[in-house]
Amino acid sequence: MFNQPINQLRKKLGKYFIPLILFVFGLILFLTLFSSVKQKGVNYQEGQVATESVRANKTIENTTETKQRRKLAAEAVTPEYTYQADTADTQHDRISQLIDLIVKTNNEIDKSYQDKVADADSGEVISQPTVDERVAAVKKSFETLDQDTVNFYQQLPNDFYSDAVQLSSSQLEAVKTESLALIDEQMEKRIRETDLSDDKQLALDKIDMTNHTEVQVQVIRYLIEDGIVINDVLNETRTAELKRQARQSVQPVMIYQGEVVVREGSQIDATALNKLDLLGMTNSTGSIFPLVAMICAVLLQLLLLYFYSHQIEGNFQRVRFILFYAASLSVGILLMKFLQIFQSSNTSTLSLFFPAAFVPLILTVFVNRRAGALAAVFQTIFALFVFYSAIGTNNLTIILMSYLFAGTLAIMVKQKRIADQAKQALLWVVLFPVLWTIVLNIYQGLSAFDSRTWTTLISSFAGSMFSILLGMGLQPYIELLVTDSSVITLNELSNPNNPLLKRLLEEAPGTYHHSMMVANLSANAVAEIGGRSLLTRVACYYHDIGKIRHANFFVENLPPGAENPHNFLLPEDSKQIIFGHVTEGAEILEEYKMPQMVIDICWQHHGTTLMKYFYVKAKERNPEITEADFRYPGPKPQTREAGVVNIADSCEAAVRAMDQPSFDKIKIFVHDLIEERISDGQLDESGLTLQEIRIVEKSLVSSLSSTFHSRIKYPKMKSEAEKMKEEQGAE
């Protein structure tokens, strides 16, 4: 409704239009918030009785108490230890490898001895390998190992090696299994230096419960003594860093803005007076900081709005966004201010009746989620100034957190009609914000039996319901203001008594019935893929409106038995008449100020398809004719809805002209036509996915089969006209 006046005003004011909008928006915000942050002068003296509660006008630090708290925080830091989780695996692997080396070395020595005995001459005595030789051979094998592993093996006493080499392979395997089990059990824990001896003793105590020989037990003891090591080491550097962080993490002890310094009816003592003096409030005309902060917040809003608007393509779209955003948020802030005026200490929850989700919700639906998020944030920021008198109270915390939470969740809804997603909208806009209010009540320690708890919950629920009811109730009227394709407008255009539809019925009845059929087919298919069904239906009603200029040149409008007038025309002349119904139709729709989407579908419902019948006839007369001369002007379908209409229009016309249509014939025809449109590139720019195309195909086949399987064709046409309809896939 306002698109045309806005566009005219934009062209008239030129580059000053957007700054003017921002100035008016900023002025509205300033005037609305000013009265809330304006402060009165004060003059306090010791012994004076406060006539009202005095709150700090700014935030200052108590440096002495801050230093003391930081010192305590550093002393309370727990020393940091570095847990070396891989130490357990390293020790396991080293011990396992050591036992394997001993077994391997023993086997090699025994084999060498057996070979010498076998090769010895009769009577020659071969001495058996000694323990020292075995130990030396084991240590010789360490030469190929890394230095850390060798150092660990060298820590083991010679008695260990002397005992170990005397064990058999099976005994060594038992030693390996038992020692690794005991070591792994302890190394799974964090072992610090103070715990090392205790953990080793725990493992050693368990050896006595095994059935091993004394030598095996002794070998296991040696392995446990050296195998269990510290894996949790004091990190002095990290501990020092943690103490430093602890000191830095302590927030300065502050007198916070809004904190009650003197309560109403209390006498101002020396302590309170000192705080007031520190705050500069003993003799003051009031702080200007809240006012300055409010002005900065308004300027920040204008700056971000201006910056974001330049990410929107098109001057008109940019202007419309700024106007819509400014108007929506202004209404929201004015309503917030209205509630603040009537709020008092006895009605502290009145602010929760504010529909905090409404503005972000409509901006999400009509613009995008980022616009909704921006409104949710600044709505909360401005609430800080609107309810400035509540600073320092728990009530302000509930207000700000409730507004921010409700506004943020409102942008989670899908960008479609709220009524069509009522269940999801109720969850995001009503249920979750109320649950958040419960969380805030719990945070404040309010009991379920406290009347304030239930008052807060009821107020929050009422505000949330107010948001969604406003969104659902006002959406059609907002659409009417900001778009040319609102539900109200589309319902009016779909009325059979619309002058243009009545004219189509009277002057081109066949086309009228064809349009109704295409509308049903297209709307059903578009609904299946989640598109704009009502808009598609209305667009189909008017997509062939251009045929009223030359109604009798389209076969569906010929009376029974009438000769096809194209039989008396050159193909080039017929082409111009057929092409004309697109261009002339768009002109008529623009003249009647139809929604842009309806005009676009009129332009795009044939895309750039080839008019086959007349092309073939022209080719017979002039071989130099090219396909480009007989293709519709286009453009190709630019939206999913236009793509569906492109397919449904040709399918309906051809199936209606089909002799004895059956389900199989219709299914094959629709499939072939869609494949032809895909291969011809007609759907490349529509945004339709292959999955959606198959859904559309199934919907069209179902609808066409149920419509035409037992119906008589209308109007009756001569065979040549039927052939033309089928081959050109037109009207």
Is the per-residue pLDDT at 645 higher than 90?
yes
Torsion of CA 5, 6, 11, 15, to 10 degrees: 160
Terminus-to-terminus CA distance in the chain, angstroms?
33
Q: Structure tokens of 270?
A: 């020396």
Query: Which pLDDT belongs to residue 345?
Result: 53
Predicted confidence (pLDDT) at residue 314 exceeds the cutoff of 80? no
638 band by pLDDT with thresholds 50, 70 and 90 = very high
User: Could you tell me which residue, 132 or 316, shows the higher pLDDT?
Assistant: 132
pLDDT score at 727: 46
Q: pLDDT at position 528, please? A: 93
Residue 415 has pLDDT above 90, yes or no: no
Q: Is the pLDDT of residue 214 over 90?
A: no
pLDDT tens-digit readout, 157-171: 888 888 888 888 888
pLDDT at 719 over 50: no
Angle between helix 315-342 and helix 358-366 axes, rounded to 10 deg: 170
Give the residue-averaged pLDDT of 172-198.
87
Closest CA to 655 of 719, 712, 726: 726
The residues spanned by each domain of the chain are 3-37+287-482, 42-62+253-283, 81-234, 489-728
What pLDDT is stored for residue 347 in this prediction? 63
Instruction: Convert the pLDDT of each residue in 520-545 to its tens digit.
Output: 999 999 999 988 899 999 999 999 89
Rank 206-220, 256-270, 290-304, 408-422 by mean pLDDT and report only the highest.
Answer: 290-304
Residue 646 has pLDDT above 90, yes or no: yes
**247-271 pLDDT, tens digit each:** 888 887 777 666 777 777 788 877 7
Q: What is the DSSP string of 281-314?
A: -SEES--SHHHHHHHHHHHHHHHHHHHHHTTSSS
Query: Nearest-5° angle of CA 431, CA 437, CA 443?
Result: 140
CA distance 365 to 477: 14
- Looking at the chain, the whole-number percentage of residues with pLDDT higher than 70 is 89
**Burial tier of 373 (Cβ tally within 10 Å: 0-12, 13-18, 19+):** middle
Mean pLDDT of the chain: 83
Helical (H) or strand (E) element with 262: strand 260-262
Confidence band, pLDDT 50/70/90 cuts, at residue 653: confident
C-alpha span between 529 and 540 (Å, rounded): 17
Least confident segment among 1-10, 174-183, 540-549: 1-10
- Of residues 163 and 53, more confidence is placed in 163
Is the per-residue pLDDT at 281 higher than 80?
A: no
In this prediction, residues 42-46 reach a mean pLDDT of 70
* Residue 652 predicted with pLDDT over 50: yes
For residue 649, the surrounding DSSP H or E stretch is: helix 640-656
Strand partners, 255: 60
The token pair at 729 is 């896939």
Q: What is the pLDDT of residue 673?
A: 93
Least confident stretch, 52-56, 90-94, 552-556, 624-628? 52-56
Beta-strand relationship, 81-83 and 283-284: unpaired
pLDDT recorded at residue 724: 45
For domain 489-728, which CATH number applies: 3.30.70, 1.10.3210, 2.60.40, 1.10.1200? 1.10.3210
| pLDDT higher than threshold 60 for residue 700 | yes
* Cβ 137 vs Cβ 109: under 8 Å: yes
Is the overall model pTM greater than 0.85, yes or no?
A: no
Calculate the alpha carbon distances from 652 to 373, 470, 630 in Å.
45, 41, 22
pLDDT tier at 709, thresholds 50, 70, 90: low
Q: 477-498, pLDDT tens digit by residue?
A: 877 777 767 788 888 888 988 8
User: How far, in Å, CA of 165 to CA of 488, rounded?
Assistant: 97
Confidence of residue 712 (pLDDT cuts 50, 70, 90): very low
Given the structure tokens 């076998």, which residue do they identify?
Answer: 118
Q: Looking at the predicted structure, is the pLDDT value of residue 678 above 90?
A: yes
Which pLDDT band, with edges at 50, 70 and 90, does 730 fall under? very low
Higher-confidence residue: 122 or 322? 322
CA distance 494 to 219: 96
pLDDT given for residue 110 in this prediction:
85
CA distance 430 to 419: 14
